[in-house]
A and B are shown apart, each in its own frame.
Chain A
Amino acid sequence: MTETSNSSTKAQRSPGRGGLSGLLHRHENLRGFLLMTPTLLVMGVGIIAPFFILVTMSLWTRQGFDFDTTLTMANYARTWNEPIYGALLSRSFWISGIATVATVILCYPMAYFVAFHVHRNKMMWIILMTLPFWTSYLLRVFAWKVILGYEGVINSGLMAVGLIEAPLEFLLYSQEAVIITLAHAWAAFAILPLYVSLEKIDKSLLEAATDLGDGPVARFMRITLPLSLPGVIAACFLIFIPTTGDYITPALLGGPDGAMIGNFIQLQFGPVNNWPMGATLSMVLMMWISLIALVFLFITRLAREKIA
């Protein structure tokens, strides 16, 4: 940000200068592209090129340890025809959908509190809330294994209090375990966008609503919620998209019934040794996510129009 303003003020101060700075001064687009070059390069080399490799590979087939490079849709046909892929995909969407909703619902009050009721040291509160996320993702997942485990914190706590006789077994190696862990592990990605969109809300609108006779609930439904919807949508995307393909959480906590599509993709590149199939599954996953995201966007737009 600082850099943009600096370079533009400098350019304004010396309008007559020729060469590069003059060129940059005359062409606003060029300036923009120059600033974006590093990002564009990273995008090109790190995302777009691998993406095309993935697309190409998904159209190949496996032949022993090598690839048959004739282009075919055979892998896509398999993902459509064999029930296992559909089941794993829908299970992944189910798990990460629940995790997303849970995360957003749990984080909304936290962000709301900081945005509206904390007046001093707001940054400190935000830092404190995101502090757990400074440790590695893997460590957090493992910590949940310790908490949810057979002799874990929850089970030994409940047994010490005398609420249960034997440890609860569904806590670990289940879909619930994956959902709980994902909801916690991605909370920071919900708190921050929610906080930003809540913080931006003009407080005078709330006063006006009160003056015009809205109670707290009506005020929330008519002002706060609609105006914070962009944050909610951003949080949903930020959590739903990466968690659908999550690999490490279901691998460590999921057990046989908690396996997700990410685990199956990893297997294709590992022991099953079918890279084209792995590429196809990744593509199918991406397509489904895009589709769901579009539908979600459409629904929220409708909802917003309804509310407004």
Chain B
Amino acid sequence: MDIVDQLGAVREGKMSRRAFARSLLASGVAIATLPAGARRAMAAPEDQGTYFTWGGYDIPELFGPYMANNNGEMPNFAVFGGSEEALTKMRGGFVVDVSHPCNQAMPRWVATGLFQPIDPSRLGNWPDVIPALVDLEGNDAEGGSIWMAPFDWGQTSITYRTDLVDLEGKEESWDILWDPKYSGKLGSLGSGADAWWVGAIKAGVDFKDIDTPEAFEKIAAVMREQRPLMRTYTDDNTTLEQALSSGEMVASMTWASSAVQLQAEGVPVKFAKPKEGALTWVCGLMIHKDAPKVDKAYEIIDSLLSVETGHFMINDYGYGHSNIKAFDAFDAAKLDSLGLSKTPSEVLSAGHFQVPQTQEWETKMNETFEQIKAGF
């Protein structure tokens, strides 16, 4: 097919229908594949910082102050499903400005040498950060700086349908997620960083002893017991929320945000306070050693620590926030209904607070858990 010939044929009115259809096809293919070849403009301009975070944290509501400073632009986002996956990706050479690990992973993240200490004097909201959340195991760097700026804290527990799960007068318990009555109607977060620890609570393993062969066996046993009952394991909150709202699942291990958001939509769910205790954690922000835009990194962190963001986190996601002033807008009853408190330690120590583990443990745990999920 020669283009000049074709143009000539069109001009002379000699183009056959078949040839015309063929050129239509060719132009269609060309147009469809054009975006793949051409360099596309990025969704957010290249002069914004990059924030590597969990799904659900990539929304404008958390970045009011940042957007005010940057002509309404949000940071660039990269999303991960589990913090171990995120660490592997960054070890593989993925450079971001800010990332979002939790206290349990933080010492291992620091040990990789991929991060730089945070200079609190560059954060306007730092004086309002609750000191107890900064003072975490492993969170001290040289020169009085710290590695992780705490941002959110809260619980991992069970979100269940109050109309479809019958407690039969018993207390709420992790047993719901192991109840054969609900086989095929239970869900779970897919990342071992939540699920394995819940398994430890269910198996009655103290978190202090979680790194022992006996603990491993006990937890693996309860996870294997649970696996046939599971509809699916996923790292995607939306999948769990949709399944709970349609009744496809009657109960699932989730973070607080799933329950709060479903309640806001009028779905009859409850975020359980299991008698064995919920799983509790503190997550925060770390800056990459080679962060290309360190200034933007501090802007992202400061925005996340702001009172405005805190209101959204508490009210709409049901998470604790690290800015003490963010709690002033809520009365004790509201906080209590969300399972939160102005003094984080009350909530964190009431549940089982995750403790940092070695890299060997983490790898072995993930390996075992993935095998169990696959049915072995």
Contacts and interface: CB of A to CB of B under 8 A. Distances in A.
Interface string A119-153: 00101100100000010000000000000011100
A271 B82 contact: yes
Contact of A123 (B22, B91, B359): B22
Interface in B330-371: 359-360, 363, 366-367, 370-371
Contact residues on B (Cβ < 8 Å of other chain), bracket? 35 or more
B191 A257 contact: no
A81 to B, nearest CB: 13
B375 A257 contact: yes
Interface residues of A, number: 31
Contacts of A124: 21
Contacts of A273: 84, 88, 363, 366
B82 to A, nearest CB: 6
B227 interface: yes
Instruction: Output the residue of B1, B88, B233 with the most chain A CB within 10 A.
Output: B88
A255 B231 contact: yes
B21 A123 contact: yes
A65 interface: yes
Given A169-B184, A267-B370, A272-B363, A150 B1 contact: no
A269 interface: yes
Interface in A179-196: none
A150 B243 contact: yes
A140 to B, nearest CB: 15
Nearest to B193: A271
A123 B25 CA distance: 8
Interface string B159-199: 00000000000000000000000001000000110000000
A88 B367 contact: no
A274 interface: yes
Nearest to B363: A273
B40 interface: no
A256 interface: yes
B374 A84 contact: yes
A83 interface: yes
B192 A256 contact: no
Contact of A272 (B32, B366, B376): B366
B25 A64 contact: no
Contacts of A65: 91, 112, 359
A87 interface: yes
Interface string B47-77: 0000000000000000000000000000000
Contacts of A270: 84-85, 88-89
A115 interface: no
Interface string A59-70: 000101100000
B367 A256 contact: no
B273 to A, nearest CB: 28
B28 to A, nearest CB: 8
Given A169-B184, A271-B85, A273-B363, A84 B232 contact: no
B55 to A, nearest CB: 14
Given A65-B112, A173-B232, A271-B85, A84 B371 contact: yes
B373 A256 contact: yes
A253 B133 CA distance: 39
B246 A271 contact: no
B370 to A, nearest CB: 5
Contacts of B85: 270-271
Interface in B224-250: 227, 230-233, 243, 246-248
Interface string B26-58: 001000100000000000000000000000000
Contacts of B374: 84, 88, 256, 259, 264
Contacts of B366: 271-273
A256 B370 contact: no
A2 interface: yes
Given A2-B1, A2-B2, A271-B366, A64 B359 contact: yes
Nearest to B245: A151
A285 to B, nearest CB: 15
B17 interface: yes
Interface string A211-239: 00000000000000000000000000000
B11 interface: no
A172 to B, nearest CB: 8
Nearest to B246: A151
A211 B370 CA distance: 63
Interface of A: 2, 62, 64-65, 83-84, 87-88, 121, 123-124, 127, 134, 149-151, 167, 169, 173, 255-257, 259, 264, 267, 269-274
Given A2-B1, A87-B376, A256-B230, 5 more contacts: A65-B359, A87-B375, A257-B375, A271-B366, A272-B363
Interface of B: 1-2, 17-18, 21-22, 25, 28, 32, 82, 84-85, 88-89, 91, 112, 184, 191-192, 227, 230-233, 243, 246-248, 359-360, 363, 366-367, 370-371, 373-376
6 contacts: A65-B359, A150-B246, A256-B373, A271-B84, A271-B85, A271-B370
Closest 3 CB pairs of A and B: A150-B248, A84-B376, A271-B84
